[in-house]
Structure 1
Amino acid sequence: MTQDAVLFQALSDPIRIRILYLLQEMELSVGELAHTLAQGQPTISKHLKALIDCGLVSRRKEGNWVFLRLGDASLVDPLFILLSRWANVHGHNPWLAADAARLTAINAERSAQAAAYFEAHAAEWDRLRALHVATEDVDKATLRAIGEHQLGEVVDIGTGTGTMIHLLADRADYIIGIDRSPEMLRFGRAKLLQKDVTNAELRQGDMNALELPAGSADTVILHQVLHYANRPAAVIAEAARILKPKGKMIVVDVAPHDREELRREHAHARLGFDDQEVLAFMASADLNGNVVEHLSGGPLTVTIWSAEPRSARLRAV
């Protein structure tokens, strides 16, 4: 059978179209797809095999979990253009709104689990954050990644208790630390007062929807926060939105690992990221990304990436 015949055969079942729409929003496990579509896991697995075989969906194993995502953009993008045109003429699939509502509920459940974890562990957050990485080494590497860049107005996304604020306060004009957890922010504000940091403030906010103007930050920091994100690509895109044309983004996170207890006990949504995955997130957000450094030697390897808007690179050439 030719590739185009395999592709269209895979699209012959409406459930598979619904799967593609769901994966357009975010990566999902087989169980989450089954729950959202109100189907048994064996049924969903059968549909996924057809979509994987034709290249519309790919699978990613992470610890004991398997996540599904959309496949090659050269196949998927034209398909969604076609589906959009079809919907404009014939109307949307009536299941899509219900599927989207259930997907929102899954997102809310994931977020609630993470929020409960942060509220319960805020008082010991600095100690927990250092369990698997050498904090001093990561801090030094972060400063190396920043280099001679003028920090200016800094936004620290997922600030926790403000570790990055204290590291960067002497070099920054002003720092806004954003975190979803009120309890984290309470401890963070106490630390700011204790150490007399006057050029920083902490705000409650969502890393997926920052209440900040576009192009308002000279420097954006995502320090050990991306692995808590249900949709890490969307977090990178939102961080890119607030970056000034000549700004710089620093991402610090762990490389892929199989420490399943971090998902189970510490609310990690992802068990690390490989270099190319984060660079792809950055490219999709119109950023030029670079792998700066890998820090190994402990239970986990930490990677530091940097990025700047493509428009700034073009002007410099």
Structure 2
Amino acid sequence: MMLALEIFRALADATRLRIMALIQTMELSVGELAQVLGQSQPRVSRHVKILCDAGLAERRKEGSWVFVALGERALVAPAMAAIDSWRSRESDHWAVADAARLAAVRADRAAAANAWFEANAGQWDAIRSLHIAESDVESVMRQILGDAPIATLIDIGTGTGRMLELFAPLAKSALGIDRSSEMLRLARAKLAERGLLNAELRQADLYALPMADGGADAAIIHHVLHFAQQPGAAIAEAARVLAPSGRLLIADFAPHEREEFRASEGHTRLGFSDEQILGWFAAAGLAPVRTETLGGGELTVKLWLGRKAGSPLKEAIAA
């Protein structure tokens, strides 16, 4: 009963209800929440603290930014279900206004990332090599995925097509997607040089992959997730296109404090912890299979492999 009282006290404020609705959509920094709500950062921080103290939200510090996300699912889900039900019974002008301003925040994030991609497309592979020897990462990725044939592979955020170079030869068909037309132009040139006729490239968004449910046997997200506005949503979309027993391999950075990467390299997130990635795996219906840590460079690189649940027949055969 005391927990319920604390939760209802925390929600007994219009601004805090708005914050809960916003972070239900995506993780936002305190500054972005202030921008959407039209309030000062100190005031928003006080509201966020009340929500965090009640367990309804949690703060994640990344460099000088603090991201706010929903709290523990078991605690938050009943409260959000009630709020959503009540909201559906009447129009809410604040929700309409907040949604419009949130769209502007998303557009700002996307514009900053796209501008960096277009400016640095020609140096993309070289920039990656500054962080850790890419050959070491690729070697472990090969070990993790193995040599077994793949029916359909999707490389999400393909950049200059390096992952397709490595893994398309194992696949019957391979698809690389990227939002940047300049990246895709470079990738097409590279794949043509390699004679990879089974690899296709498309301009698309990682949140809306151009593939039917269950259309891929393997998916790769290689050094892309730290640019994503909604990493959990990107993982969920990758899981959607995986067939039963399909695998998702993510390569990205462990948490770090290189704040300058936000401005100099367009990073939205300063790396990811195992807890974050495995939490998103669980939410997307992926079971963790393997985690690897590769140090030795300016940054530590992490590899996470998840597998989608298999069909009942496959599960029975495997048993």
Normalising by structure 1, we get a TM-score of 0.96
Structure 1 residues 149, 95: CA separation in 2 closer, same or farther (over 3 Å shift)?
A: farther
Cα drift, residue 148 of structure 1: 4.6
Cα drift, residue 15 of structure 1: 0.8
Alignment correspondent of 2:94: 95
CA contact (8 A) 1:145 1:292 kept: no
Alignment correspondent of 1:287: 286
Instruction: Write out aligned runs for 1:149-298 (5 A).
Output: 149-298=148-297
Alignment correspondent of 1:112: 111
Which shifted more, 210-219 or 148-157? 148-157
Cα drift, residue 170 of structure 1: 2.2
Which shifted more, 191-200 or 18-27? 191-200
Alignment correspondent of 1:77: 77
SS at match of 2:209: coil
CA contact (8 A) 1:132 1:298 kept: yes
Q: Which AA in structure 2 matches 1:230?
A: Q
Alignment correspondent of 1:9: 9
Give the whole-Å Cα distance in 1 for the aligned partners of 2:255 and 2:93. Answer: 39
Structure 1 residues 203, 155: CA separation in 2 closer, same or farther (over 3 Å shift)?
A: same
CA contact (8 A) 1:275 1:291 kept: no
Cα drift, residue 161 of structure 1: 0.3
Give the whole-Å Cα distance in 2 for the aligned partners of 1:171 and 1:243. Answer: 17
Percent identity reads 47
CA contact (8 A) 2:220 2:250 kept: yes
Q: Which runs of 5+ in 1 are unaligned?
A: none
- Residue by residue over 1:5-27, the C-alpha shift from the partner in whole angstroms, topping out at 9 and shown as x without a partner, is 22211111111000000000111
Q: Which AA in structure 2 matches 1:162?
A: G
SS at match of 2:212: coil
CA contact (8 A) 2:289 2:307 kept: no
Normalising by structure 2, we get a TM-score of 0.95
- Residue by residue over 1:195-247, the C-alpha shift from the partner in whole angstroms, topping out at 9 and shown as x without a partner, is 22221121111001112111111111111111110100000000011111131
Which shifted more, 15-24 or 35-44? 35-44
CA contact (8 A) 1:293 1:304 kept: yes
Q: Which AA in structure 2 matches 1:304?
A: L
Alignment correspondent of 1:25: 25
Instruction: Write out aligned runs for 1:297-316 (5 A).
Output: 297-312=296-311, 314-315=315-316, 316=318
SS at match of 1:43: helix
Cα drift, residue 101 of structure 1: 1.4
Q: Which AA in structure 1 matches 2:195?
A: D
Give the whole-Å Cα distance in 1 for the aligned partners of 2:96 and 2:87. Answer: 13
Structure 1 residues 311, 97: CA separation in 2 closer, same or farther (over 3 Å shift)?
A: farther
Residues matched between the structures, number: 316
Q: Which AA in structure 2 matches 1:52?
A: C
SS at match of 2:169: coil
Cα drift, residue 147 of structure 1: 2.0
Give the whole-Å Cα distance in 2 for the aligned partners of 1:113 and 1:168. Answer: 30
CA contact (8 A) 2:225 2:231 kept: yes
Q: Which runs of 5+ in 2 are unaligned?
A: none
Instruction: Write out aligned runs for 1:45-56 (5 A).
Output: 45-56=45-56
Which shifted more, 144-153 or 266-275? 144-153
CA contact (8 A) 2:118 2:183 kept: yes
SS at match of 1:152: strand
Cα drift, residue 106 of structure 1: 0.6
Give the whole-Å Cα distance in 1 for the aligned partners of 2:249 and 2:197. Answer: 23
Which shifted more, 271-280 or 188-197? 188-197
CA contact (8 A) 2:218 2:248 kept: yes
Which shifted more, 232-241 or 255-264? 255-264
SS at match of 1:170: helix
CA contact (8 A) 2:155 2:177 kept: yes
Cα drift, residue 108 of structure 1: 1.1
Give the whole-Å Cα distance in 1 for the aligned partners of 2:52 and 2:243. Answer: 39
Cα drift, residue 168 of structure 1: 1.2
SS at match of 1:260: coil
Q: Which AA in structure 1 matches 2:119?
A: A
CA contact (8 A) 2:147 2:170 kept: no
CA contact (8 A) 1:279 1:290 kept: no
Give the whole-Å Cα distance in 1 for the aligned partners of 2:210 and 2:204. Answer: 7
Runs of 4+ in 1 over 6 A off after TM superposition: none
Q: Which AA in structure 2 matches 1:85?
A: S
